[in-house]
Amino acid sequence: MDFIRRGGTRQAAFDRAVALPYSGSMLTWEDLAKDLSIQTESKIVLLVIDGLGGLPLRGKTELETAETTNLDRLAMRGCCGVTDPVLMGITPGSGPAHLALFGYDPLRYRLGRGILEALGSDVEVRQGDLVARGNFATLRDGLIVDRRAGRIATEECARLCAVLNAALAARKDPEVTLTPGKEHRFVARFRTAGLSDALTDADPQKDHKPLVKAQALDAASAKAAAVVNAFLDDVIKILAAEPVANAALLRGFSAQPSIPLMPDLTKLRPAAIANYPMYKGLAKLIGMTAYKVGQETEDLFTTIEAHYAEHDFFYVHYKKTDAAGEDGNFEAKVRAIEEIDAFLPRLEALKPDVLVVTADHSTPALMAGHSFHPNPFLLVAPTALPDETGVFTERECAGGLLGRFPSLRAMPLMLGHAGKLKKFGA
Amino acid sequence: MDFIRRGGTRQAAFDRAVALPYSGSMLTWEDLAKDLSIQTESKIVLLVIDGLGGLPLRGKTELETAETTNLDRLAMRGCCGVTDPVLMGITPGSGPAHLALFGYDPLRYRLGRGILEALGSDVEVRQGDLVARGNFATLRDGLIVDRRAGRIATEECARLCAVLNAALAARKDPEVTLTPGKEHRFVARFRTAGLSDALTDADPQKDHKPLVKAQALDAASAKAAAVVNAFLDDVIKILAAEPVANAALLRGFSAQPSIPLMPDLTKLRPAAIANYPMYKGLAKLIGMTAYKVGQETEDLFTTIEAHYAEHDFFYVHYKKTDAAGEDGNFEAKVRAIEEIDAFLPRLEALKPDVLVVTADHSTPALMAGHSFHPNPFLLVAPTALPDETGVFTERECAGGLLGRFPSLRAMPLMLGHAGKLKKFGA
- A275 secondary structure, DSSP code: -
| Residues B126, B123: Cα–Cα separation, whole Å | 10
Type and span of the H or E element at B159 = helix B154-169
For residue A377, list its beta bridge partners. A81
Q: Identify all chain B residues contacting A14, using CB atoms and an 8 Å cutoff.
A: 369
SS3 B33: helix
Of A168, A169, A181, the C-alpha closest to A119 is A181
Q: Which residues contact B121 (CB under 8 A, 6 or more apart)?
A: B179, B181, B187, B277, B281
Residues B37, B415 contacting (CB under 8 angstroms): yes
Specify the pLDDT at position B4.
39
The pLDDT tens digits of the residues spanning A159-171 come to: 999 999 999 998 7
| Residues B31, B8: Cα–Cα separation, whole Å | 25
| Residues B111, A165: Cα–Cα separation, whole Å | 60
Structural Rg of chain A based on CA atoms: 23
Give the mutation candidate from B28, B86, B110, B133 for the A interface (greatest A CB count, under 10 A).
B110
What is the largest distance, in Å, between two alpha-carbon atoms of chain A? 74
Specify the pLDDT at position B124.
83
Specify the pLDDT at position B24.
60
Q: Identify all chain B residues contacting A404, using CB atoms and an 8 Å cutoff.
A: 403-404
Query: Which of A17, A388, A409 is opposite residue B88, by nearest beta carbon?
Result: A409
Query: Between helices B94-101 and B113-120, what is the axis angle to 10°?
Result: 70
User: What architecture is the B17-111+259-417 domain classified under in CATH?
Assistant: 3-Layer(aba) Sandwich (3.40)
Q: Identify all chain B residues contacting A426, using CB atoms and an 8 Å cutoff.
A: 93-95, 111-113, 116, 252
Distance to chain B for A103, nearest Cα, Å: 12
Specify the pLDDT at position B171.
79
DSSP strand pairing (B143-146 vs B130-140): antiparallel
Instruction: Compute, in degrees rounded to 10, the torsion defined by CA atoms B344, B347, B352, B355.
Output: -40
Q: Cβ of B99: how many Cβ atoms within 10 Å?
A: 28
Domain residue limits, chain B: 17-111+259-417, 115-254
Please report the DSSP string for A332-375 in residue order: HHHHHHHHHHHHHHHHHTT--SEEEEE-SSB--TTTTS-B-PPE
Name the more confident of B307 and B282: B307
Q: Identify all chain A residues contacting B116, using CB atoms and an 8 Å cutoff.
A: 426
Mean pLDDT value across chain B: 92
- Phi-psi bin for B194: left (phi > 0), alpha (psi -120 to 50), beta? left
| Residues A339, A327: Cα–Cα separation, whole Å | 18
CB-CB under 8 Å, B61 with A21: no
Specify the pLDDT at position B304.
98
Residues above pLDDT 90, as percent of chain A: 85
CB pairs < 8 Å spanning A and B = 133
Structural Rg of chain B based on CA atoms: 23
Taking 90 as the threshold, does the pLDDT of residue B367 lie above it? yes
- First-to-last alpha carbon distance for chain A, in angstroms, is 27
Which residues in chain A show pLDDT less than 50?
A: 1-23
Distance to chain B for A398, nearest Cα, Å: 11
Specify the pLDDT at position B112.
76
| Residues B410, B358: Cα–Cα separation, whole Å | 10
Q: Which residues contact B218 (CB under 8 A, 6 or more apart)?
A: A21, B196, B198
Tell me phi and psi for residue A210, to 5 degrees: -70, 160
The pLDDT tens digits of the residues spanning A62-88 come to: 999 999 999 999 999 999 999 999 999
The pLDDT tens digits of the residues spanning A11-50 come to: 333 333 333 334 457 899 999 999 999 999 999 999 999 9
Taking 70 as the threshold, does the pLDDT of residue B5 lie above it? no
How far CA A78 is from CA of A120, A190, B366, in Å, comes to: 33, 48, 17
How far CA B416 is from CA of B38, B44, B412, B424, in Å, comes to: 11, 11, 6, 11
Residues B235, B161 contacting (CB under 8 angstroms): no
